[in-house]
Structure 1
Amino acid sequence: MSYALFTDIGSTFTKVTAADLEACRIVGRAMSPTTIFDDVNIGFQKALALLTEQVGHPMEFDFRLACSSAAGGLKMVACGLVPDLTSEAARLASLSAGAKVLKAYAYKMTDTEAKELTELQPDIVMLSGGTDGGNSEVMLHNAKVLADCPLRFPVIIAGNKSAAGEAARLIEEAGKEAVVCPNVMPEFGKLNIEPAREAVRKVFLERIVDAKGLRELAEKMDGDIIPTPAAVLDAITLLSRGTRDEEGIGSLMAFDIGGATTDVYSVTNGCPVYSGAMLKGLPHPAAKRSVEGDLGMRWNARTIVALQGEELFAEDAGVTVEELRQTLDVFDKTPDILPQNEAMEKIDVALAKSAAKNACERHAGHLEVVFTPLGERYMQTGKDLSDVKWLIGTGGPVITSKDPAAILSEASFSEQEPLSLRPRRAKCLLDAKYILSAMGLLSQKLPDVALKIMKNELIEI
């Protein structure tokens, strides 16, 4: 037998997964509370012991790989010139690298924004602005603001190449690390986020792994520790596109609905399919990730309810307003609690449905009607997800639900919102064993095997 071990160090739980590389199957999975404030190795060893107990015998692993979102994950701030262009490009690059984007600034940063930046305490800042040969003034102004900030975060410079060297000099003279990479938007409307994504990953390995207390664990692994969301994006990209020898399953979306955030991933070109529609603004990457920090099922339960209103939410959930209010009080006090009664189960399902619906609506593109001399036309902003073939559900609330398909179906197109470009005819898959991050790690070494395991383990519902 040939086995591999995959570890996902989350903020709450450390999860370990063992895969049989020859049979292309998952042979065991276990988890234990993450011990981030003591030593992450303690939680890792406890999870590994539980895995060994589950399998029934000790295993020798060909290799071990790990990802992490512990201690808040990778926290980034993006700075750019125009909100819908270079600032958005920097934000998309940061998200694709697996970061949680705390804030995206545009234009010249003000004194108030500089103070806010200090309060946010990012791990990394991405500085962009201007196409190559274009505006330099804003990026250099913001470089000076970053240099003057008392925090010692590394800065990834991915803007106008004509100003990048001077921006790096300003930041380095302030005692901060500056990493220069190609512009995230070298030409108007053209994205180039992959070099910036790799720069983020490199800085994460060199600086953040130590800062998060992961160095000792990293030395036990046979590859780099990467941010967990980046591993998931790698997995779904592989599942969609396939390899030279193994066919992928086509365009897809994945929803990771958690207690603190809802993450959405999509792999599809997103080009306009609506007759006569024209693309407006920055084209979004084919492999895209978004994070909704106000759609966590525990930490933001009240926010999710407020989107619909207490009475309507309670009616849709099949509970009374009083039961809803009591449950929200419980979630406030114990955000890690699992449903304890029928009313709480119904509210949990309703929260997950609302999170999926609203997160997909924000992730998907939309149409707007404009009037031209030639008549009525449609303008598309963002990605058209109408033709997406698969919706994949992962995360505890979806995996443990009695009806995960009902949750995922909320992400589908609605006649009540005809201009929202959500999937129209997608089928659903369930990541019941929570393997996407593990398979993203495996894709670094054995992509064909990772793809086969996902095809074998994901369940159509």
Structure 2
Amino acid sequence: MKTLDLLVAEIGSTTTVVTAFDKIESDEPEILGQAEHYTTVLQGDVTLGIKKAISILEKKIKNKIRWKKFLASSSAAGGLKITVHGLVYDMTVKAAKEAALGAGGVIKYITAGKIRNMNLKKIMEISPKLIVLAGGVDYGEENTVLYNAALLADSEINVPIVYAGNCSVSEEIKRILEKKGKEVILTENVYPKVDQLNVKPARKIIQESFSKNIIYAPGMEKVYDIVDDEIIPTPGSVMLTTELLSDIYKDVLVVDIGGATTDIDSVTEGDPLIQKIMLSPEPISKRTVEGDLGLYVNAHNVIDLIGENELRKEFEDYDDLIKNLSPYPQNDRQEMFVSTLAKYCFVESIKRHAGNKKYLYGPNGRQEIAVGKDLTSIKYIFGTGGILSRSKYKYEIMKKILEEDRRNSLIPGQKIFFGYDKNYIFAAIGVLSTVNKEAAINLLKKNIEIIKNR
């Protein structure tokens, strides 16, 4: 029997991966092993898949195991349904949205300005698990957010409301909502000053709410029978790892291609010259989720976007490949087909994450502006997820971004390094960092393989 320090499970929509860590308090932390199994949501109990993965791990290391601590991240529940309501879309609404996306939230509805009855009806139809209410810079406009708070207070909506707006009315907002029996969580303003974002405090609150609500998702009811602490949303844990990568490599981008989604995390301030023409601020740490770009659950969407006829030209055995599509390709032909889908996911997700340059015309003539996230200072792009960690085609997939037109796009330049998560542990490393950051950085350095742009 082997006793180890920490076991981490990443419960995904398709697979569950278990990673064993030991000696995490020493100068030489180590990964003892890793194993995976299909996620067992459809069987109504994700702990079945976790236990199967542990059994596979024990066979790999040829020893029975026990552990001092068991932690987990999850995306199998599909994220926390959130609606976001602010004052101006490009300011407070955008900031609140950034906070939600970095914390396992799935944005289902957004409003700017005063909420109308039709908006309220839509919110009730969506039945979110959390509402983020924002509006106004600190000590700025107050009327809109007070009006929205009163409307939500009088509604039949009964979910926690996170207030992340103008601090001058925080207590009044709390009184308005609590008087009608609503649960209110106050946090710092996501947009305290013009051209300043402050998303981390709200992101932390949303992540905590995700952890509390995950047991109500199908198949997740028994998960706290196994784990020893709150479950971290997998997107949040990968963001933590991306920030660790930034500590090492500075301007970084991580692409995580999964069975259902493709997630992008970036940490960069961008080019100072671009910042001078930026129309509105962007967070240094940004996450986007492309819910239509996946290699298994959403493969049909990717095929539609590429074009079935185009794929048939390249793959004469297209029908057989579709019939046998799996998270675990059984032969080189299947892996090649999936890598073709992955190339599209990789490039398209980065393009959607990035901003672009535009021109405005006014009395003083043409003026160049920049809108969205500036990725032009990115020097390292890292791949994670099953295919970008393990496929022999991972470099072929990643280098596809070099073929893109960069004239008006703010995607990374061509002088970049590609790296990959060779042991598929970015999510687990993020979880480990909440226990021991130094051990996480130490293991991260050992886990990454850098491929110079050839």
TM-score normalised by L of structure 1: 0.86
In the superposition, relative to structure 1, how do residues 335 and 314 fare at CA in structure 2: closer, same or farther (>3 Å)?
closer
SS at match of 1:85: helix
Q: Is the 8 A contact 2:207 2:236 kept in 1?
A: no
Structural mapping, 1:302-313, within 5 Å: 302-312=300-310
What residue number does 2:368 align with? Answer: 378
Q: Is the 8 A contact 2:15 2:37 kept in 1?
A: yes
Match of 1:187 among 193, 197, 205: 193
Alpha-carbon displacement from aligned partner over 1:108-142 (angstroms, at most 9, x marks no partner): 23333323323323221111111122233332333
What residue number does 2:32 align with? Answer: 27
CA distance in 1, matches of 2:329, 2:37: 20
CA distance in 2, matches of 1:64, 1:309: 44
Residue type at the aligned position of 1:70: A
Match of 2:216 among 192, 211, 221: 211
- Give how far 1:294 is off: 1.9
- Give how far 1:371 is off: 5.1
What residue number does 1:245 align with? Answer: none
**Equivalent residues, number:** 443
Structural mapping, 1:36-55, within 5 Å: 36=41, 38-55=44-61
- Give how far 1:252 is off: 1.1
Q: Is the 8 A contact 1:30 1:50 kept in 2?
A: yes
Residue type at the aligned position of 1:319: F
Q: Is the 8 A contact 1:3 1:59 kept in 2?
A: no
- Give how far 1:390 is off: 1.3
Residue type at the aligned position of 1:18: A
Report the identity percentage. Answer: 35
CA distance in 2, matches of 1:341, 1:223: 39
Gaps of 5+ in 1: 242-247
In the superposition, relative to structure 1, how do residues 335 and 342 fare at CA in structure 2: closer, same or farther (>3 Å)?
closer
1:423 aligned onto 2:412: yes
CA distance in 2, matches of 1:209, 1:344: 34
Q: Please, what is the CA RMSD of the aligned residues?
A: 2.8
What residue number does 1:434 align with? Answer: 424
Structural mapping, 1:216-295, within 5 Å: 217-218=223-224, 220-241=226-247, 248-273=248-273, 278-281=277-280, 283-295=281-293
Q: Is the 8 A contact 1:413 1:423 kept in 2?
A: no
Residue type at the aligned position of 1:29: Q
Alpha-carbon displacement from aligned partner over 1:336-358 (angstroms, at most 9, x marks no partner): 56546766544422221111111
Alpha-carbon displacement from aligned partner over 1:172-209 (angstroms, at most 9, x marks no partner): 3443311011110011221111211122233334x314
In the superposition, relative to structure 1, how do residues 146 and 216 fare at CA in structure 2: closer, same or farther (>3 Å)?
same
Match of 2:166 among 149, 160, 182: 160
CA distance in 2, matches of 1:138, 1:169: 16
CA distance in 1, matches of 2:98, 2:44: 34
SS at match of 2:373: coil
In the superposition, relative to structure 1, how do residues 93 and 421 fare at CA in structure 2: closer, same or farther (>3 Å)?
same
Q: Is the 8 A contact 2:259 2:327 kept in 1?
A: no
What residue number does 2:106 align with? Answer: 100
Q: Is the 8 A contact 1:63 1:222 kept in 2?
A: yes
Q: Is the 8 A contact 1:277 1:377 kept in 2?
A: no
CA distance in 1, matches of 2:39, 2:438: 31
What residue number does 2:127 align with? Answer: 121
What residue number does 1:244 align with? Answer: none
CA distance in 1, matches of 2:401, 2:155: 41
Q: Is the 8 A contact 2:14 2:39 kept in 1?
A: yes
- Give how far 1:427 is off: 1.3
- Give how far 1:169 is off: 3.2
